[in-house]
A and B are shown apart, each in its own frame.
Chain A
């Protein structure tokens, strides 16, 4: 089992996930790839074997008003191959998560098309890196627009229009208030798209009342044979939130305290909760999987979890650490 984390590295200050300069300063995919190369070296040092790359790796690559950025992927084929080879040598599973602005099932055709272009650009990056089928692009179903059935049907319809290059890479995640595991299973049955089980989303949004193991089994079973499924795991935030805001009357800054919402990710992962989850999976789930840790402390949360797992569940440590 691999453990991974998304995008931002906190364990080494100054290590960037991508070229975030504004378009006026001419950011470039090759600069992002240089950052990615540095990140891979860091991950190798920490024995981390899964990582989600920044969705802005190729800056402005499909921006309609900035055509000068559109050819970056072709221009960087050599550099993409070098970094991809490096990841493969490190046994590093790489992935993308499309930004939330990408809505494949959008009712507005322009938005849907631009989202498809975004997915295509990400798929082309993974192809140019020479990565295998485990290098996936995670998406959500998208907009609900007040009609669940129509929204799901539109996703299926638009999915069929995507080039095979993209369909090979896309995987679909349950979310925390619109589309449940049952909904994405419906999509899988019509498209074959593999499903990503998100633990926290499932706990927050499960209107059909599926039991956890059943939901997990559905998702794991949707992946093709020979490709290790991946899931997302996070603990809900439990700490008080301190909100800094402008007072409506006086206009001065004030701090207010708010109780956490269960949708929010915590800074670190509760190791007892994770150990219990793995124990339950081991009893019932049919196949192994990799785990993307979604916590605010990013790589530090992963390293912290690994440290604690080796203490509270030493028999499992070899799986979690490697």
Chain B
């Protein structure tokens, strides 16, 4: 994410981007880096418009990276300096329709070059991808891998639907590429009580097409959304 003109100029003219090590996501390794631009960028706002090949990572203090900001509270903290090649413009910008501030999405170059909107970038399980396709074909607005936070716990839901009178969280049962090998997820799936306390209605799905046909899954989700007044449109500028 780029939220200042200075950082954009650094990326474009000096060829680097920074991430504080302490707040780095679980995936920083990549061959390419693409930038989501926030509302500051006017015509290019709320979208991914540029990407660049990654040349080199370094671990440096913020003071070394930005020598004019030695008084910054994190001046001594280590940062990843990601050195990049020349910025390339995407064939078409990738908008975030809900204006969600996207920090990090690990994806593939192929997806980056073909995505129509930001949620297309996520690489999900087969079930997740199938449901996302069904949402898109049905014109249902949803957000993928939506983060929830309750006290010190971080959760994600596979899909979030924002309705007129509430929110629907969709959680898909399968967790691993091999169904019966247990993988510990980075963020646990939220349980029903926590979700309800945060004002979410949970729809849990077993493996699509096995325990429950995809059409029936979609109907169940849409019914839950209907009970909350139907899926809302794109929000106003935030």
Contact = CB atoms under 8 A, between A and B. Distances in A.
Contact of A307 (B31, B57, B123, B181): B181
Nearest to B60: A78
Interface in A42-95: 42, 45-47, 78-79, 82
Interface residues of B, number: 27
A111 interface: no
Interface in B178-229: 178, 181-184, 186
Given A45-B184, A303-B183, A34 B57 contact: yes
- Describe A's contact surface by its main secondary structure: helix
- Describe B's contact surface by its main secondary structure: loop
Contacts of A232: none
A19 B26 CA distance: 17
Interface stretch (B39-47, B48-56, B68-76, B151-159): B48-56
A21 interface: yes
Contacts of A34: 28-30, 57, 80
Given A13-B123, A14-B108, A79 B57 contact: yes
A276 to B, nearest CB: 22
A38 B57 contact: no
Given A14-B106, A31-B31, A41 B55 contact: no
A38 B28 contact: yes
A11 interface: yes
B58 interface: yes
B176 interface: yes
Interface string A254-296: 0000000000000000000000000000000000000000000
Contacts of A14: 27, 106, 108, 123
B59 interface: yes
A205 interface: no
Interface stretch (A22-30, A160-168, A195-203, A242-250): A22-30
A16 B29 contact: yes
Nearest to B106: A14
Nearest to B183: A11
B157 to A, nearest CB: 19
B26 A11 contact: no
Contacts of A82: 59, 78
A35 interface: yes
B177 A38 contact: no
Contacts of B57: 28, 30-31, 33-34, 79
A12 B183 CA distance: 9
A31 B56 contact: yes
A303 B175 CA distance: 14
A124 interface: no
Contact of B182 (A30, A36, A79, A303): A303
Contacts of A21: 31
A154 interface: no
Contacts of B53: 25-26
A15 interface: yes
A202 B47 CA distance: 57
A304 B58 contact: no
A32 B55 CA distance: 11
A304 B54 contact: no
Contact of A15 (B27, B55, B108): B27
Contacts of A114: none
Nearest to B26: A41
Nearest to B28: A34
Interface string A296-313: 010010011001000000
A297 B58 contact: no
Given A31-B29, A34-B28, A78 B181 contact: no
A239 interface: no
A3 B56 CA distance: 32
Given A16-B29, A41-B26, A45-B186, A30 B181 contact: no
B56 to A, nearest CB: 5
B116 to A, nearest CB: 20
B58 A303 contact: no
Contact of B178 (A12, A16, A35, A300): A300
Given A26-B55, A31-B31, A47-B184, 15 more contacts: A11-B181, A13-B123, A16-B29, A25-B31, A30-B58, A31-B57, A35-B29, A38-B26, A38-B29, A41-B26, A78-B60, A82-B78, A297-B178, A304-B178, A307-B182
25 contacts: A10-B178, A11-B183, A13-B123, A13-B177, A14-B27, A16-B29, A28-B56, A30-B57, A31-B29, A31-B30, A31-B56, A32-B29, A34-B80, A35-B29, A37-B28, A38-B26, A38-B27, A41-B26, A46-B184, A78-B58, A78-B60, A300-B177, A300-B181, A304-B181, A307-B181
Interface of A: 10-16, 19, 21, 25-26, 28, 30-38, 41-42, 45-47, 78-79, 82, 297, 300, 303-304, 307
Interface of B: 26-31, 53-60, 78, 80, 106, 108, 123, 176-178, 181-184, 186
